[in-house]
Amino acid sequence: MDGAGMRKVSSHCSISDMDDYDLSKLLDKPKLNIERQRSFDERSLSELSVGLNRGSVENFEHIYSPGARSGFDTPVSSTRNSFEPHPMVAEAWEALRRSLVYFRGQPVGTIAAYDHSSEEVLNYDQVFVRDFVPSALAFLMNGEPDIVKNFLLKTLQLQAWEKRIDRFKLGEGAMPASFKVLHDPVRKTDTIVADFGESAIGRVAPVDSGFWWIILLRAYTKSTGDMSLAESPECQKGMRLIMSLCLSEGFDTFPTLLCADGCSMIDRRMGVYGYPIEIQALFFMSLRSALALLKNEGEGKEFIERITKRLHALSFHMRSYFWLDFRQLNDIYRYKTEEYSHTAVNKFNVIPDSIPEWVFDFMPTRGGYFIGNVSPARMDFRWFALGNCVAILCSLATPEQSMAIMDLIEERWEELVGEMPLKISYPAIESHEWRIVTGCDPKNTRWSYHNGGSWPVLLWLLTAACIKTGRPQIARKAIDLAESRLLKDGWPEYYDGKLGRYTGKQARKFQTWSIAGYLVAKMMLEDPSHLGMISLEEDRLLKPLLKRSSSWTC
Ligand code: GLC
């Protein structure tokens, strides 16, 4: 998302012409609710009147304990007291605090990169919604929720702006990819400029921003016990607007969300258009988070019903058609084509010859993953780390699938982790395919950036997935790798090469989410109860009715 010249940004508004919230009012100490309370985040589908004939499931919230612990039933690590803080931790906190961005004296976010050595700042001096997530989690885990609250409210205000690209008006619910605070020292005003895609390379709107916003709202609520923010009319409306964007009816035959290339973390052309796993997993997680946070009254009621139906369809579709393991690969390899009617096994008419060679060797006997994309006659077999880790965290993956994903990471450690956690995608595309798929993008050459580059920020997602699946030793190994280089190399944005040995060709230094991602990973491993703010347990009513592959259960 570089190259977005601020001059071209059209949506802006200064505090004087903006109907601003009084941040000081919103900075009231969070209401702490220390009573044992009914779970709000695990609202079971059975409680909802959508005609599902199941008994009610009691889900009790774990006791909220002040001090930023969030409820999760993983026992606090027995090694906790023996945990020596790594010298990098203090350095990371210092760097994270340096990246804070203030609006009218209040911290509202963190800039993407604090890189003075680089001549080209591009848009790395902005607060990106997706980049702020690990920063927010670090602050929540450290018992500093105010900045997260400020950020949620500020971005909510930006959502209300009218958004245009040329003469086309964007959907009301769209959240910005990023925003920037401009300080005018003479007039003593702060102005915000935001980018909803109208300045971004390729002019693509960030589909992930709204999802991350809802996920973060739940994390804030879960961590602080302060329900008042999520329950406020403004936040309820913000969630409904995001939901109506992604639940709107069209010509779709699939419950997955159709996307343009470059609409998420991979924000350049990389052949992920269609139904990318990153967006589907975030979509699922935000649907479940919204279900937990929306009030079951008035307009919220209708949304709860629509979300519930979509979750059922989406989990079935993803678990059935995106899942790939040895057995499933063998089935696809033997697929008949040109089948017609309801009895078709090969529903999307995938031609076995289109299966790339590498996947046959890559697929271990034990293990599996959600592939990159599924659409008519097209399966993108590439591995994408973010989508698979998020699928584990929000229980889009069944417990068996989650275990299989972790098995794959262990079995294919050299390919997926190598010397620097974690590859964003695997394998890289090269030569003719690179030309066609990326449009000859010099930033996305093989094993660089989005094309098989290694991104330290993904460490927090891997760690969370490891803790959730009871495999913390994998996270520890990954953190050890990061600790051997990250600080020394100046917290790069990404690494290049098949093993991730080289600092990325055009990687920023002091990339905030590399710093925050490391801190979140460390804090979660030290105190696994933090996982609760970013994890959702399996909902019994979303259990698969259909078992496609026996390797799920063995
Ligand atoms: C790059 C990344 C994008 C990130 C942005 C700011 O454009 O691809 O995911 O949000 O930098 O760090």
Among the residue ranges 5-9, 184-188, 229-233, 487-491, the one predicted with the least confidence is: 5-9
Best substitution site from 126, 128, 266, 272 to test ligand 1's pocket, by max atoms within 8 Å of Cβ?
Answer: 128
Any atom of ligand 1 within 6 Å of the Cβ of 130: yes
For ligand 1, atom 1, which residue shows the shortest CA distance? 1
DSSP assignment of 331-385:
HHHT---S--STT-SSTT---GGGS-THHHHH--SS-EEE-SEEETTEEE--EEH
The per-residue pLDDT for range 62-116, each reduced to its tens digit, is: 323 333 444 333 333 334 445 568 899 999 999 999 999 999 999 999 999 997 6
Question: Could you tell me if 470 and 397 are in contact, meaning their C-beta atoms sit under 8 angstroms apart?
Answer: no
CA of 3 to the centre of ligand 1 (A): 11
Q: Helices 472-483 and 512-526: crossing angle, nearest 10°? A: 140
266 CA: nearest ligand 1 atom: 8
Give the sign of the dihedral formed by CA 376, CA 378, CA 384, CA 389: positive
Pairing of strands 100-103, 106-110: antiparallel
For ligand 1, atom 6, which residue shows the shortest CA distance? 112
Q: Taking the CA of residue 244 as centre, how many other CA atoms within 13 Å lie in the half-sphere pointing to its CB?
A: 11
Any atom of ligand 1 within 6 Å of the Cβ of 195: no
Confidence label for 544 from pLDDT (cuts 50, 70 and 90): low
Confidence label for 25 from pLDDT (cuts 50, 70 and 90): very low
Question: Could you tell me if 463 and 524 are in contact, meaning their C-beta atoms sit under 8 angstroms apart?
Answer: yes
Best substitution site from 120, 131, 384, 443 to test ligand 1's pocket, by max atoms within 8 Å of Cβ?
Answer: 131
* CA–CA gap between residue 448 and residue 429 (Å, rounded): 10
Return left, alpha or beta for 482; rule: phi > 0 is left, psi -120 to 50 is alpha, else beta.
Answer: alpha
Least Cα distance to 214 among 147, 263, 283, 278 occurs for 283
CA of 34 to the centre of ligand 1 (A): 38
Q: What is the pTM of this model?
A: 0.86
Query: What is the model's pLDDT at position 43?
Result: 53
For ligand 1, atom 12, which residue shows the shortest CA distance? 112
Pairing of strands 502-503, 495-496: antiparallel
Share the mean pLDDT of the chain. 86
512 CA: nearest ligand 1 atom: 12
Q: What percent of the chain has pLDDT over 90?
A: 75
267 CA: nearest ligand 1 atom: 8
Least Cα distance to 224 among 552, 533, 437, 541 occurs for 533
